[in-house]
Amino acid sequence: MSDSSSIETLVAILRREITRLSPGDRLPSSRDLITRHGVGPVTVSRAIALLAAEGSVVTRPGSGTYVATHRPRSAGAEPDTSWQAVALAGRDALPDRPDEQSDAEAPDTIRLSGGYLHENLQPTRPLGAALARAARRPDAWHRAPAAGLSTLRTIFARQAGGDVGPEDVLVTGGGQGALSMLFRAVAAPGSPVLVESPTYPGALAAARAAGLHPVPVPIDDEGLRPDLLADAFAMTGARLLYCQPTFHNPTGTVLSPERRRQIVDVARAAGAFVIEDDFARHLGHGRPAPRPLVADDRDGTVIHLASLTKPASPSLRIGALIARGPVMRRLHAMRRVDDFFIARPLQEAAVELLSTPAWDRHLRTLATALQHRCVLLADALARELPDWTLARVPEGGLHLWLRLPPGLAEPTVADAAAAHQVAVNLGRHYFPAEPPAAHLRLGFAAAAEPAKLTEAARRLALATRDLGRTAD
């Protein structure tokens, strides 16, 4: 049993005991709890700390632990919040993020869902060392500049290439927060925003939360179609395009060199901005990623978004926006409204991480691991589920995009997969309008080990066979 599960078990036991005691009654000593429940002193100490934090007990050094006089509200005594339905009337409900991990997943579930690296693919030791070095800086807890540390902005500018300079960079709290800021800063509520179809659900959620209306523009094997993009700008009057030109989520498509120029030209002719979400630049499978759109843009058409959370850790909430002209001044103003600045220790840790040879070694190791996992899962699916259509074996990113055969519905397959302890992402969440067919997005980076991917494909085949027997 893991330490966390031992602590949770002991907390549950003590909560039951507390309900049978009166305020002020003394709980058994730590020594008694260790002997009675067969746990270690650290487990007891952390369980008591959790109960104290929630207000169930109070601790008195040298005396013991006692039932609190005012215990937290019991589970059956929920407050009446129905009045809030009236107070919130007229406001659209904020969209959910269906691609996030569910708390209801069984412990042995193989995760082909979500969009982050498993812990054993993250650079845990370099991250810890970077954070420790950052904490030792004498100015580690000083206020950070609103635009971000100059050293970190210089690193992001160098990664973007072209003539991008640190003055063009605004450090952000990860990619999702940057998207929310961008949509609110650039487009007025009620405006259309053009998006690839399919596209990243987090972008759809952020756009809708900002009051924007996503308008789909189809993609093909070469990425976003410039002809349909021009039509969409003309029909809608949109002044904003959101796209992922490199290792597109969910399909893995890379926008072709010719279209990279055409997309920017079409947007410039329409007087529109292009948000280039470059989240996967460090997620290639061994081949270098194409040059970012922003590197060849001198007129401020492209707003570039970069992030460190995907190749490093979900908790390294550091990203960057690259923009020129009045839009950057507007983003600076939005920064002053939203959060003033990004926490300096985290920025310093990012600088320490990106400035060491360990980061380059991690990226090389990660590229090899992702390429191996990608091919392994693709081969297993082709073997176990030959009637599922794989869009492509991508050269970067974290996912495979599959079209289900006719007659299979996404929710039905997902429920059957969950019953066989495999978590998947429904394809319909990646479309801003009606999906043309049933799809699933299957990730290969969140599983604990590569062998789990082969097992997941086997379980998915069993799940679909069970569906066929049920239909018969």
Digit-coded pLDDT (tens) for 187-197: 999 999 999 99
Q: Please indicate, yes or no, if residue 72 is contained in any of the structural domains.
A: no
In this prediction, residue 296 has a pLDDT band, given cuts at 50, 70 and 90, of: very high
Pull the structure tokens for residue 83. Answer: 């009045």
Q: Please indicate, yes or no, if residue 89 is contained in any of the structural domains.
A: no
pLDDT above 50 for 461: yes
pLDDT in tens, 421-451: 999 999 999 999 999 999 999 999 999 999 9
- Residue 290 and residue 366 share a domain: no
- Asked if 170 contacts 219 with a C-beta cutoff of 8 angstroms, the reply is no
pLDDT above 90 for 69: no
- Residue 312 and residue 273 share a domain: yes
- Residue 28 and residue 174 share a domain: no
Q: Please indicate, yes or no, if residue 101 is contained in any of the structural domains.
A: no
Last residue of a domain, one of 316, 338, 356: 356
- Residue 457 and residue 337 share a domain: no
Output the CA torsion 50→106→116→344 (10° steps): -10
Last residue of a domain, one of 333, 356, 379: 356
User: What confidence score (pLDDT) does residue 353 get?
Assistant: 96
- Residue 373 and residue 253 share a domain: no
pLDDT above 90 for 276: yes
- Residue 194 and residue 262 share a domain: yes
User: What confidence score (pLDDT) does residue 97 get?
Assistant: 59
User: What confidence score (pLDDT) does residue 108 get?
Assistant: 87
How many Å apart are CA 245 and CA 248, to the nearest integer? 6
How many Å apart are CA 295 and CA 272, to the nearest integer? 18
- Residue 270 and residue 396 share a domain: no
pLDDT in tens, 315-333: 999 999 999 999 999 999 9
Q: Please indicate, yes or no, if residue 206 is contained in any of the structural domains.
A: yes
- Residue 375 and residue 292 share a domain: no
Instruction: Give the count of alpha carbons within 13 A of 379, CB side only.
Output: 9
User: What confidence score (pLDDT) does residue 104 get?
Assistant: 57
User: What confidence score (pLDDT) does residue 142 get?
Assistant: 92
Q: How far is CA 465 from the centre of its chain?
A: 32
Helix (H, G, I), strand (E, B) or coil at 13: helix
- Asked if 251 contacts 391 with a C-beta cutoff of 8 angstroms, the reply is yes
Closest CA to 149 of 344, 381, 13: 344
pLDDT above 50 for 1: no
59: domain range? 3-67
- Asked if 443 contacts 399 with a C-beta cutoff of 8 angstroms, the reply is yes
User: What confidence score (pLDDT) does residue 140 get?
Assistant: 87
- Asked if 109 contacts 99 with a C-beta cutoff of 8 angstroms, the reply is no
Q: Please indicate, yes or no, if residue 93 is contained in any of the structural domains.
A: no
3-state secondary structure 164-207: CCHHHEEEECHHHHHHHHHHHHHCCCCCEEEEEECCCHHHHHHH
Q: Please indicate, yes or no, if residue 74 is contained in any of the structural domains.
A: no
Q: Give the CA distances from residue 57 to residues 8, 23, 43, 323, 353, in Å, rounded to whole numbers and listed in that order.
A: 16, 9, 16, 52, 41
- Asked if 192 contacts 238 with a C-beta cutoff of 8 angstroms, the reply is yes
- Mean pLDDT along residues 85-112: 71
Q: How many domains is the chain built from?
A: 3
Q: Please indicate, yes or no, if residue 330 is contained in any of the structural domains.
A: yes
User: What confidence score (pLDDT) does residue 455 get?
Assistant: 97
The CA-CA-CA angle for residues 122, 116, 208, to 5°, reads 150
Write down the pTM of the prediction. 0.83
Pull the structure tokens for residue 436. Answer: 């043309």
What is the domain-level CATH number for residue 44?
A: 1.10.10.10
pLDDT in tens, 207-246: 999 999 999 999 999 999 999 999 999 999 999 999 999 9
Q: Max Cα separation, the chain?
A: 77
Higher-confidence position of 323 and 90:
323
- Residue 135 and residue 115 share a domain: no
Higher-confidence position of 54 and 120:
120
- Asked if 444 contacts 370 with a C-beta cutoff of 8 angstroms, the reply is yes
- Residue 132 and residue 210 share a domain: yes
For residue 128, what are the contacts with CB-CB under 8 A and spacing of at least 6? none
- Mean pLDDT along residues 384-396: 95
Q: Please indicate, yes or no, if residue 228 is contained in any of the structural domains.
A: yes
Query: DSSP for 71-114?
Result: PPPPTT-----TTHHHHTTTSPPPPP-TTSPPTT--TT-EE--S
- Residue 128 and residue 240 share a domain: yes
pLDDT in tens, 336-359: 888 899 999 999 999 999 999 999
User: What confidence score (pLDDT) does residue 298 get?
Assistant: 86
How many other C-beta atoms are found inside a 10 Å radius of the C-beta of residue 160?
25
What is the domain-level CATH number for residue 307?
A: 3.40.640.10
Last residue of a domain, one of 336, 356, 376: 356
- Residue 278 and residue 184 share a domain: yes
What is the domain-level CATH number for residue 439?
A: 3.90.1150.10
User: What confidence score (pLDDT) does residue 467 get?
Assistant: 77
How many Å apart are CA 309 and CA 297, to the nearest integer? 25
How many Å apart are CA 17 and CA 12, to the nearest integer? 9
